[in-house]
A = this chain, B = another copy of it.
Amino acid sequence: MSLSPPAQPGQSFAEIDTPALILDLDAFERNLVAMAAFTQAHGVRLRPHAKTHKSPQIALLQIAHGAVGQCCQKVSEAEVLVNGGVGDVLVTNEIVGPGKLDRLAKLARNARIGLCVDHPEGVREAAEAAARHDVILDILVELDVGGRRCGVAPGEAVRIAEMVARSNTLRFSGLQAYHGSAQHMRSIDERREAVERAGLLARTAADKLAHAGLGCEIISGAGTGTHELESQSGIWNEIQAGSYIFMDADYARNRQADGTPFRTFEHSLFVLTSVMSKPVPDRAVVDAGHKAAAIDSGLPTPWQRDGVVYTKPSDEHGVLTGDPIALPHRGDKVLLVPGHCDPTVNLHDWYVCVRGLNSPDAHVETLWPVAGRGALT
């Protein structure tokens, strides 16, 4: 059996069952437009990350606003995107083993498909999979630009790029230069320094590639927290931001140059929860816990509820505490801003897309499936 969604199109906001993942369509659309305008003004390509939304509907809206395609992290996410009509997908990740690479190569019959490598074996395996399926795969060589996760140093990147360039079934497209941990550094100075260091490495690699006679068409990277810096650097020419469409409580803790909170984008993603128990006046227990909102980047925060704090999450509960006057009552509904949007989305099957969220006419305009939820392989 499949689970029934928490709402139906046409219902009023008050009729939405809880917990539910709410998308404020008005704020979401403003975010779409703002990032499209910014990247167009700075002459950089926008390739938004689908690891955030896992939704072909959202991917196609981003592409309609000028995005060149999508990023994702998993082969199964790429399958969801291509099956949903996306024609250009970059897996910003290393893919190991013939099983996954065969699936990726099959997708390349119907879409432009790229992936990252950071090891000579990765080049060989990708080339063989492409040959088996008679396709060409785009390859970005991943640099470690400070995140100390995947990726190699510039010299090794050139050696791997040369292997790619020698293959008949791979196309060397450029460099993956994404600095994940820089996204969440709180001050603009910290983020700027991290992106400058990353840029030095990317430029060094590009220079070495040129010296080796290899063109570097794309330098791809950046997230929502640093996209302005990479876009203005003259080094990166493709931006992989994902969270900008939703925002979350963690990104809201970043500071802009003037020290004020990061406000380039609006909160459009919420978890709607109900008070299921209020046994004492200073404790309202809600029906959203770990299975409704991820906590890896901090707890969710109540939206437009001054004096109320979400605490003590357990699997299916959270506890609102704070000013007893401000606490909601049994049966009341509360919007939570997730601490981290990506893994929160991955807990839900449906976006309940609301129009006019802050108006008396707030209603469910449509439901979008989180089609790539659970796309792990």
With A and B bound together, what is the CA distance between A285 and B347 in angstroms? Answer: 24
A48 in the interface (beta carbon within 8 A)? no
Are the C-beta atoms of A316 and B51 separated by less than 8 Å? yes
Please give the distance in Å from A156's CB to the nearest CB on chain B: 8
A187 in the interface (beta carbon within 8 A)? no
Are the C-beta atoms of A277 and B3 separated by less than 8 Å? no
- Dominant secondary structure of chain A at its interface with chain B: loop
Please give the distance in Å from A13's CB to the nearest CB on chain B: 14
Tell which of A26-34, A58-66, A73-81, A301-309 binds the partner: A73-81
Among A3, A51, A73, A314, residue most surrounded by chain B Cβ atoms (within 10 Å): A3
Are the C-beta atoms of A1 and B80 separated by less than 8 Å? yes
Assuming A291-B376, A371-B1, is B276 touching A17 (CB within 8 A)? no
Are the C-beta atoms of A276 and B73 separated by less than 8 Å? no
Contacts of A152 on B, CB cut-off 8 Å? Answer: 279
Tell which of A95-103, A189-197, A202-210 binds the partner: A95-103
With A and B bound together, what is the CA distance between A285 and B152 in angstroms? Answer: 13
Name the 7 nearest CB pairs between A and B, nearest first.
Answer: A150-B277, A73-B316, A290-B343, A94-B276, A94-B277, A19-B376, A17-B377
Contacts of A342 on B, CB cut-off 8 Å? Answer: 290-291, 315
A338 in the interface (beta carbon within 8 A)? no
19 examples of A-B residue contacts, CB within 8 angstroms: A3-B375, A19-B376, A19-B377, A20-B376, A51-B316, A73-B315, A121-B330, A150-B276, A152-B279, A290-B340, A290-B342, A290-B343, A291-B343, A291-B346, A291-B374, A296-B313, A315-B342, A347-B376, A349-B374
With A and B bound together, what is the CA distance between A73 and B289 in angstroms? Answer: 11
A331 in the interface (beta carbon within 8 A)? yes
Contacting residues of chain A (99-153) with chain B, CB-CB under 8 angstroms? 99-100, 118-119, 121, 144, 148-152
Q: How many residues of A contact B (CB 8 A)?
A: 70
- Interface residues as binary, A307-325 with B (CB distance below 8 Å gives 1, 0 otherwise): 0000011111101000000
Among A96, A274, A340, residue most surrounded by chain B Cβ atoms (within 10 Å): A96
- Interface residues as binary, A345-377 with B (CB distance below 8 Å gives 1, 0 otherwise): 011110000000000000000000001011111
A87 in the interface (beta carbon within 8 A)? no
Assuming A51-B316, A285-B149, A294-B290, is B275 touching A96 (CB within 8 A)? yes
Assuming A19-B376, A149-B319, A315-B51, is B276 touching A93 (CB within 8 A)? yes
Assuming A151-B279, A319-B149, is B274 touching A96 (CB within 8 A)? yes
Are the C-beta atoms of B274 and A97 separated by less than 8 Å? yes
Assuming A150-B285, A312-B149, A376-B292, is B118 touching A277 (CB within 8 A)? yes
For the complex with contacts A18-B377, A150-B285, A292-B376, 16 further pairs of A-B residues with Cβ separation under 8 Å are: A1-B371, A3-B375, A4-B76, A6-B376, A74-B316, A96-B274, A97-B331, A118-B277, A149-B285, A150-B279, A150-B317, A180-B314, A290-B342, A291-B343, A291-B374, A348-B376
A283 in the interface (beta carbon within 8 A)? yes
Nearest B residue to A117 via CB reads B277
Which residue of B288, B290, B319, B377 is within 8 Å of A6 (Cβ)?
A: B377
With A and B bound together, what is the CA distance between A6 and B97 in angstroms? Answer: 14
Please give the distance in Å from A274's CB to the nearest CB on chain B: 6
